[in-house]
Amino acid sequence: MTTNRAVLGILLLVASLGLSSCASSPVKKTSSVPWLSLSPLSTTTTTTTTTTLAPAHPCTARDLKASFGQGGAGLGNDLSVLIFTNIGPICRLSGYPDLLGRTATHGSALLAVSKSGTYFGSLITADLAHGQRGELLLGTGDGCVALNEPSQSADAANARADTYHAVTVLLPHDSGSVLIDHVTFDVACGLDESQLGVQPPTPSEFSAPPGSLASLRASNSMPTRVQSGTVLRYTVVLYNPTNKTVTWRRCPNYTELVLTTPEIGKSQRFSHTYELNCAQAKNLPPGHSDKFTMDLLLGKVQKGSEAKFSWELDTGDGPYSGRGIYVVSPSEAKTGFTLPALQPPSS
């Protein structure tokens, strides 16, 4: 009996020492990286691929066949999609075009366009091979005063004056123009456009090679309500889910964006691109992560609104992270509008 008790005591002592050792020496898997205002490196974004394409010449009118695609709607915003198919050699689709609209009664006119992306998102620059398609997103609305007057006759007059049935896309880089007929959109509540390009890839469309920067997963942590006219400070965690170490030898840029919609059909865009602070980041073995502190300067808004926040590593294939936030106007802030604590990371 005495022997058994002695053995049991030794086993308990060994177990307690083992637990104490584990508790005092945790495995550190996340390192923190401060924010630095680093000018972005000169880079080229291409379509989703595991290799980098050689720079291509800008797409011209001769290279493109245009058509009207399937649109959409959401929260009083309407989406029109213009499709551009490359019928020539490889060319680069990029930039914000000018637009000429044509009505049945007033002829053609240069449209007032907000070149800041749309409520439905934006596109990325792409090198289109022969037969590949790119897009241009046009965002309009139907909830402004111009289309909701007390007088039905005034509503009808605005609709007639601002409804276009054809559009000529004046390509950037003096590359010519493309006419798209049989398209109908109403710009009485304003018109937003994306740049010419392709949809950003999603994880279901592209599997990045293990150990590449694009294979990282991004998540963010920030207030749900932020004050305009101030610097938004938040964090981004980049996590390595693969079985190979990710290094920072080739330091990428990143782009941060807040897109507000103070009124239906109108938006304000606050976007910045910097080089990532790779010098103070640690390589990421499997299962490890780096937490980057970020600063985003928000311009002032006259009216508070819901907004879309997005962050992406500019590899051409992500990773991406985003969430919905509320941007507070200066007048709301003066009335004692309080900002909540940081929310848990959202991928």
**What confidence tier does 104 reach under pLDDT thresholds 50, 70, 90?**
low
Same domain, 173 and 218: no
CA distance 196 to 211: 31
Q: Is 10 exposed, middle or buried (0-12, 13-18, 19+ CB in 10 A)?
A: exposed
Same domain, 254 and 323: yes
Residue 2 lies in a domain: no
Residue 200 lies in a domain: no
CA distances to 2, 4, 6, 24, 289 from 11, in Å? 14, 11, 9, 20, 37
Phi, psi of 291, deg, nearest 5: -105, 120
CA distance 342 to 327: 15
Contact assessment for residue 196 and residue 123, using Cβ atoms and an 8 Å cutoff? yes
Is pLDDT at 203 greater than 90 in this prediction? no
Contact assessment for residue 118 and residue 138, using Cβ atoms and an 8 Å cutoff? yes
Better pLDDT: 37 or 189? 189
Same domain, 247 and 327: yes
pTM over 0.85: no
Phi, psi of 229, deg, nearest 5: 80, 10
**Quick one: which of 116, 64, 113 has its CA closest to 93?**
64
Same domain, 113 and 158: yes
Q: What is the pLDDT of residues 308-323, one digit of tens each?
A: 888 998 887 789 888 8
- What is the per-residue pLDDT for 340? 46
If one counts the domains in the chain, the total is 2
**What confidence tier does 49 reach under pLDDT thresholds 50, 70, 90?**
very low
Q: What is the pLDDT of residues 21-34, one digit of tens each?
A: 333 333 447 778 88
Residue 113 lies in a domain: yes
Better pLDDT: 87 or 184? 87
Strands (E), the chain: 30-33, 64-68, 72-74, 77-86, 91-93, 98-103, 107-110, 126-128, 133-141, 163-170, 177-186, 192-193, 217-221, 225-227, 231-239, 253-263, 266-275, 289-297, 305-313, 320-328
**What confidence tier does 324 reach under pLDDT thresholds 50, 70, 90?**
confident
Residue 214 lies in a domain: yes
Q: Which domain holds residue 246?
A: 30-44+208-334
Better pLDDT: 145 or 180? 180
- Amino acid in the structure at residue 267: S
Read off the CATH number of the domain in which 67 is found: 2.60.40
CA distances to 34, 45, 78, 256, 332 from 303, in Å? 32, 35, 21, 22, 9
Is pLDDT at 85 greater than 90 in this prediction? yes
- What is the per-residue pLDDT for 259? 84
Same domain, 226 and 291: yes
Is pLDDT at 7 greater than 60 in this prediction? no
**What confidence tier does 136 reach under pLDDT thresholds 50, 70, 90?**
very high
Same domain, 77 and 185: yes
Is pLDDT at 43 greater than 90 in this prediction? no
CA distance 66 to 79: 17
Highest mean pLDDT among 101-105, 202-206, 244-248: 244-248
The position carrying tokens 């605005």 is 158
N-term to C-term CA, the chain:
58
Is pLDDT at 181 greater than 50 in this prediction? yes
CA distance 170 to 100: 8
The mean pLDDT value for 204-228 works out to 84
Provide the percentage of residues in the chain whose pLDDT is more than 70: 76
Contact assessment for residue 229 and residue 255, using Cβ atoms and an 8 Å cutoff? no
CA distance 93 to 196: 6
Same domain, 77 and 189: yes
Read off the CATH number of the domain in which 226 is found: 2.60.40.10
All residues at 6 or more sequence positions from 253 whose CB lies less than 8 Å from its CB, including other chains: 40, 41, 43, 273, 274, 275, 276, 313, 314
Is pLDDT at 134 greater than 50 in this prediction? yes
